[in-house]
Amino acid sequence: MQQVKYILAAAMCAACVAGKAQIKSAALPQPYTDSAFAVAVSNGTRTTIGVPGKNYKTNFAHYNINADFRTSEGHLYGEETVTYDYNCGQGALNSIVINLYRNIYKDGVRKNRYVDRRDIGDGVIIEKIQLVKNGKYTDLNITEFATQIEASLPEPLHQGESITLFIKWNNKIAANSHIRGGKYNNDTWFVPYFYPQIAVYDDIYGWDRIQHSANEEFYFENANYDVNLTTDHYTAVWATGVLQNPEKVYSPEVLKKYRTALSSNKLTDIISKEDITKHTVKKEQNVWHFCADSVSDFVFGCSATSKWTAKTFDLDGKHVTAAAVYRSEKFRDNVDLTESTINYLSHKRPAVTYPYPWMTMFEGSGGMEFPMMVNEDLDKLWDDMIFTTSHEITHTYFPFLTGINQNSYGFIDEGLTMYVPQFFQDSICSMPTGVKRSARYVSNHLEEDNAKPVFTKSYSMGSSWAFTMASYYTPQVGYSILEGIVGSDVMEKALQQFTTAWSRKHAHPYDFFYMLENVSGKDLKFFYNNWFAKTGNTDLGIKDVYREDSTNYIVIENYGEKYLPAMLKFTYKGGGSEKFYQSAEMWRDGNRTCTIALPGPEIQEVQLDTERIPDSNSNNNYFFIKDNTK
Ligand SMILES: [Zn+2]
């Protein structure tokens, strides 16, 4: 925020005096106070300063997956041995909850997003689920819900113990719906959520039993993955993690270029246009071995006709490989964009080193984040590519690294993913992206009938527009207004501390809210309640401007319900103009009017600049002073 240096302003409401006291109150956004969080605080797993409590623990899983994906029939046959470490919990577990996210394609399962009827079928077929103990395999009884199963254990699992399950399944992979994945030409597929995945059991809610419905997103446990994927028809495979056996799968020419890309910071076309006219892999059918440590999910894409370009750059003492797998030539530019995004995220906001060794941008559909991979369309406009690429890579931190529950709190991961890279986007985009575009959307939305408070659980939003506004645009603007209240340095410090403190854990929205209060030393609940827990109209206006004793007084009226900052643009009577930013702190006491005192030359006209600030009514944003005496 730019502030004019020599204008000394004092807003005349008491609200503008910033409190520096340590925040002790545990009151949370109203009326969405979450008693389960308060219980977690009393149990010592959470705190009211934004860091994990001394008793905080998370569970963890180790997946060994063997999957065979037959690309021509689009069918996947898999088996996995998963060991689950039960660290975080209250009492013994009598059952294990497992997500089958692909059951949104099952006939009869509720979906809140368009699914092509050709993709609707039997869902995930569980052929076998067994407990593995001392070399013995025991069949487990399961109860199936919409997109989850619950497996009963023959004996309780106590805290501190581990359990191993063997699961065999198969699933026809949806080709046509293109919800975060699908089939893109005869041999190009992107296959997310393809394996039975143990649900999150966290310290606040226990098992996550929210059934997936397609529109809202996911909640993942941290895990290690050791995956062997077999594909046919000479397809190459890209996946989360690091390929363990490149020499066994790639042709000698491709292998040589692959090794160059891993050691060069120049773009290397590992699979070029010429390469795809012949086979780039060794055999018709290959086994691709990938490993990934401490990530929250595993995904893969495959193709026999995509090009592949990569480069490897130094990042804080380690190497990161940025790659693009693509059919459209322009998509190749995504490699450099990926590198600059990762540098921004690692060093500016949230200023935490990118945690993985790879990031592969896969040209498929839409824009969807996965650990170490993004599935993305080639947008017509490069500005849109900048937006999508930087947005999706930011998801590395929110939700993946900080373990956010997206199906309940989309506004934390999507809101931060809109907000955090907005300056990066604005610095290289030619059109308004970032907060300018969001401010325009938010201006009128918050008083619409279907608007929902940001804090509404994502899975209960009802309309997809309400979900989008509450998860993306409204929180992005909210975080920008908060930055105006606490200052950019404080916001950056809070983002960095939050990301670090919750790395490979499960952050709740209150953890971020408390962290920001703690780092800023300000009680921010007045704003949290106003912006995140309520809807309402956005409308500031200039009610009056007058001059007394060589001081200009600007009276700002809040005609709406939302607490907004004011960016004032003055023109002086003697010529020249200036801007002045007054943060939303002016509404802290719930007053409707705030008078800003500005000593200095006589002002002729004042305008509210609403380029980055929502305002549903522009008729009261301009004031011309006819008579300066009062
Ligand atoms: Zn997103």
Tokens 């076998």 belong to residue? 128
Query: How much distance in Å is there from the Cα of 414 to the middle of ligand 1?
Result: 5
Distance between CA atoms of 413 and 475, rounded to whole angstroms?
A: 10
Note the pLDDT of residue 629.
Answer: 52
Instruction: State the amino acid at position 50 in one-letter form.
Output: G
In the numeric block, the tokens 């990530």 are attached to: 295
Cα–ligand 1 centroid distance for 415 (angstroms): 8
214 and 237 Cβ atoms separated by less than 8 Å: no
- For residue 7, is pLDDT > 70? no
Concatenating the DSSP letter of every residue in 418-483 gives HHTTHHHHHHH-SS--HHHHHHHHHHHHTTSTT---TTS-GGG--SHHHHHIIIIIHHHHHHHHHH
Instruction: Determine the distance separating the centroid of ligand 1 and the alpha carbon of 498, expressed in angstroms.
Output: 19
Q: How far is the CA of 396 from the centre of ligand 1 (A)?
A: 10
CA of 418 to the centre of ligand 1 (A): 7
Cα of 426 vs centre of ligand 1, distance in Å, is 17
**For residue 376, how far is its CA from the centre of ligand 1 (angstroms)?**
12
Residues 6+ apart with CB under 8 A from 131: 137, 138, 140, 153, 154, 163, 164, 165, 166
The answer on pLDDT for 395 being more than 70 is yes
Q: At what angle do helices 474-486 and 488-501 cross, to 10 degrees?
A: 120
pLDDT at 5 exceeding the cut of 80: no
Q: 484-526 pLDDT, tens per residue? A: 999 999 999 999 999 999 999 999 999 999 999 999 999 999 9
**Span 376-394, pLDDT tens digits:** 999 889 999 999 999 999 9
At 516-539, the pLDDT tens digits run: 999 999 999 999 999 999 999 999
Compute the distance from residue 516 Cα to the ligand 1 centre, in Å: 22
Report the separation in Å between the CA atom of 626 and the middle of ligand 1, taken as the mean of its atom positions.
49
- Residue 48 Cα to ligand 1 midpoint, Å, equals 27
397-445 pLDDT, tens per residue? 999 999 999 999 999 999 999 999 999 998 998 877 778 889 999 998 8
Distance between CA atoms of residues 377 and 386, nearest Å: 12
User: Could you tell me the distance, in angstroms and rounded to a whole number, from the CA of residue 395 to the centre of ligand 1?
Assistant: 7
Ligand 1 centroid vs 217 CA: distance in angstroms?
10
Q: How close is the Cα of 392 to the center of ligand 1, in Å?
A: 6
The pLDDT value recorded for residue 35 is 86
pLDDT tens, residue by residue, 579-614:
999 999 999 999 999 999 999 899 999 999 999 999
CA of 215 to the centre of ligand 1 (A): 12
Q: Is 259 exposed, middle or buried (0-12, 13-18, 19+ CB in 10 A)?
A: middle
More confident residue, 18 or 198: 198
23 alpha carbon to ligand 1 midpoint, in Å? 31
Percentage of the chain surpassing pLDDT 90?
A: 87
Token pair, residue 430, equals 């030619």
* Residue-wise pLDDT tens digits, 323-340: 999 999 999 999 999 999
Residue 17 predicted with pLDDT over 80: no
CA distance linking residue 580 with residue 567, whole number of Å: 6
- Ligand 1 centroid – CA 345 distance (Å): 15
Alpha helices by DSSP H, 317-409: 334-347, 382-394
Instruction: Give pLDDT tens digits for 261-315.
Output: 999 999 999 999 999 988 899 999 999 999 999 999 999 999 999 999 999 999 9
Cα 58 to Cα 60: distance, rounded to the nearest angstrom: 7
DSSP string of 483-546?
A: HHHH-HHHHHHHHHHHHHHTTTS---HHHHHHHHHHHHT---HHHHHHHHS------EEEEEEE
Ligand 1: centre distance to CA 260 (Å): 32
**The predicted structure's pLDDT at residue 15:** 34
CA 264 to ligand 1 center in whole angstroms: 30
> pLDDT category, 19, cuts 50, 70, 90?
very low
How remote is the CA of residue 249 from the centroid of ligand 1, in Å?
33
Q: Please tell me the distance between residue 93's alpha carbon and the centre of ligand 1 in angstroms.
A: 33
Q: Roughly what angle, to the nearest 10 degrees, separates helices 410-419 and 509-520?
A: 50
Ligand 1 center to residue 398 CA distance, Å? 9
H-helix or E-strand containing 248?
helix 246-249
Measure the CA dihedral 281/283/287/291, to 10°: -20
In DSSP terms, which residues pair with 359 in a beta bridge? Answer: 322
Measured in angstroms, how far is the CA atom of residue 126 from the centroid of ligand 1? 31
Q: Is the pLDDT score of 564 beyond 80?
A: yes
Please give the helix or strand (H or E) that residue 258 lies within, else none: helix 252-261
pLDDT digits (tens, 9 = 90+) for 50-81: 999 999 999 999 999 999 999 999 999 999 99
pLDDT of residue 34: 78
81 CA → ligand 1 middle, Å: 31
* Res 29: pLDDT: 57
- The 3-state secondary structure of 73-129 reads CCEEEEEEEEEEEECCCCCCEEEEEEECHHHHHECCCCCCCCCCHHHCECCCEEEEE
pLDDT tens digits, 218-272: 999 999 999 999 999 999 999 999 999 999 999 999 999 999 999 999 999 999 9
Burial class (CB in 10 A: 0-12, 13-18, 19+), 628: middle
Cβ atoms of 231 and 116 within 8 Å: the answer is no
CA of 496 to the centre of ligand 1 (A): 19
Nearest 5°: the CA angle 275, 280, 284 is 140
CA distance 170 to 430: 47
Question: Sorting pLDDT into bands at 50, 70 and 90, what band is 448?
Answer: confident
Q: Residue 16 corresponds to which amino acid?
A: C
| Cα 382 to ligand 1 centre (Å) | 18
Helix and strand numbers (H, E) in the chain are 13, 32
Residue 33: what residue type? T
- What is residue 26's DSSP assignment? -
Mean predicted lDDT score pLDDT of the chain: 92
